[in-house]
Amino acid sequence: MSARTTLRAFPTLLRVGFAEAVAYRAEMLIWVLSTTMPLVNMVLWMAVSREAPVGRFGEADFISYFLATFAVRQLATSWAAWLINWEVKQGTLAMRLLRPISPLWAYAVESIAAFPMRLMVAVPVILLSVALVGQKAVPQHAWQWGFVVLAVIGGWAVAFLANVAIGALCFFLESSQKVLEVWLVLFFVCSGYMYPVELLPPTLRTIIDWLPFRYQIGVPVEMLTGAYGWEESLRLLAAQWAWVAVLGVLAAVTWKQGVRRFAAFGG
Amino acid sequence: MKVKRYLRLLGIQLKASGLLSLQYRADFFTEGLTSLFWTFTALAPLFVVYSERPNIEGWSFGEALLVVGWFTLLQGILEGAINPSLTGVVEHIRKGTLDFVLLKPADAQFLVSTQRFQPWRAFNVLTGIGLFAYAFTLLGRWPSVTGLLASVLLLGTSTLLLYSLWILTVSAAFFVVRVDNLTYLFTSIFDFARWPSSVFQGVGRGALTMVFTYVIPLALMTTFPAQAMLGRLPPQSLVGAVVGAGLFAWGSRQVWLRSIRRYTSASS
């Protein structure tokens, strides 16, 4: 499982992953359509802001915020926890373990390979946002766009690594679906997915700043809507990547400890 | 005679899934906990919204809570009684085992709709009722008897609508086979029923409200019953809901029959 074999396998894995994403495009479309939550909430917040703006958010700001949320959710997402649970239960993980490359890399590459397809959904949504709201829906400066890319990748990494860590818990708990559910609930409440985190009372905001959830969706969305100046953006990115590092270690450790306990039944 | 036979059949199917769920008694608690969890996420945006404004599109916090209550209650019915068996249909279609169902000497729609229940999921119904109680304490009054009766009647029509929508979704599974996640698509459409339908008025000059009242009748499912409880549902809306639900159920039945006819088993 040397670094060299892993690197050599990358292009092939990417190609396979991409082919899979293309093959299951109808299924992916259904997944995309099933993430309508931001739109539901967009409508609610538009109704609220019709009379007077909420904080710095007017009706147009809510439109661009939630459309950005919809787009970012397509990219910064991962279902690795679900997949790991399923493969452990089915015993098919044994097949992956036989390959000369860590399953974690395989999961990651599969997820990354779907990016081109996912961009085909995300980009039109952003363009729609520009069409509805105008130029101010997206960042004005080139450096801000650079930060958007970094923040989206960071958001994906947070989602993926947390998923791996939770998924690996199934080696100890038989099934970690319930843990995943708890994570999802906290994600919905704390990530800025249902409302901009800014609108919460200050104490709650401080707590959320210290939790990983906001860095998956909220921060990339705020970058994409050009909410911050140079310094604040840099601070948020640093916090996001710090979480990526922490979750990375956590994922690697739980996976390594867990896989030792793995005994494939019928695999 | 026929009705009696179907009732007996229903009894048998209910008993089977009842016994199955008694095997997993711990589920009672986990389902309860997760249902409370999800209700909280559904409420989170409302808490944030209403900390900004006391009134949104003519709905106060307590009143909007009633809509969420109905949403939760219907979710319980959906996940406990409708989802499990119809997820089974999708599975049947994919594996080609639907043939066995179609060959049985009873109505196929009846058989597939009653094949499995998950009683513990009905915990959401309790959560919904809890929300009603809380909402009315906030409002400082209780619903009138006629209001309550109307809302019970609407519970029937809402369930019928939900079920018919599901049949339509499943009929789609005959045309596009790889649709394991149709359930998610369906629940996400149902998500729009979370808020009072008047919230959607401002979008596209009321086009969305029209869609959610007449095309996908989500407004009828949660907003109407909540209005009935508050005693402000006009009688003609009540009649409209009953007639509409009946027509919708009839339509979905026709679509189902047509799809069944089009079904070619996977093995042949």
Q: Chain B residue with minimal CA distance to A33?
A: B185
Residue A27 pLDDT > 80, yes or no?
A: no
B205 touches chain A (CB under 8 A): no
Residue range A84-109: average pLDDT?
Answer: 87
B176 interfaces chain A, CB cutoff of 8 Å? yes
Query: What is the distance in angstroms between the Cα of A23 and the nearest Cα belonging to chain B?
Result: 11
Question: For residues A43 and B199, is the Cβ–Cβ distance under 8 A?
Answer: yes
Q: How close, in Å, is residue B145 to chain A by CA atoms?
A: 31
Nearest residue of B to residue A30, measured between CA atoms: B185
Give the residue from B68, B47, B41, B54 showing the smallest Cα distance to A200: B47
State how far residue B146 is from chain A, nearest Cα, in angstroms. 30
Complex prediction ipTM:
0.79
From the list A175, A176, A156, A157, the residue with the least C-alpha distance to A166 is A176
Q: Does the beta carbon of B24 lie under 8 angstroms from any beta carbon of chain A?
A: no
- Flag if B41 and A194 touch (Cβ within 8 Å): yes
Query: Which of A138, A126, A125 is CA-nearest to residue A32?
Result: A125
Instruction: Please compute the mean of the pLDDT values over residues B198-206 and round it to a whole number.
Output: 74
Label residue B268 by pLDDT band (50, 70, 90). very low
pLDDT for B204:
67
pLDDT tens digit string along B4-28? 888 888 888 888 888 887 877 777 7
Rounded alpha-carbon distances, angstroms, from residue B184 to B79, B87, B181: 12, 11, 5
End-to-end CA, chain B:
35
As a whole number, mean pLDDT of residues B191-214 equals: 78
Identify the band that residue A267 occupies on the pLDDT scale cut at 50, 70 and 90.
very low
Contact A44 B199 (CB under 8 A): yes
**Gap from A46 CA to chain B (nearest CA, Å):** 8
Handedness of CA A117, A120, A125, A130 (dihedral sign): positive
pLDDT of residue B180: 63
CB contact under 8 A, B185 and A34: yes
Taking residues B171-185, report their average pLDDT. 70
Contacts of B53 in chain A (CB under 8 A): 48, 51
Nearest CA in chain A to B48: A200
Here the tokens at position B90 are 């999708």
DSSP A35: -
Our CA-based measurement puts residue B188 at a distance from the nearest CA of chain A, in whole angstroms, of 5
Whole-number Å distance between alpha carbons of A14 and A171: 27
- Contact (CB<8Å) B56/A47: yes
Report yes or no: A43 and B203 within 8 Å, Cβ to Cβ.
yes
Which of B187, B156, B140 is CA-nearest to residue B42? B187
Task: Say yes or no: B249 contacts chain A, CB-CB below 8 A.
Answer: no
Burial of B129 (0-12, 13-18, 19+ CB in 10 A): middle
- Mutant choice from B188, B203, B216, B218 vs A, greatest count of A C-beta within 10 A: B188
Chain B residues with CB under 8 Å of A41 CB are 45
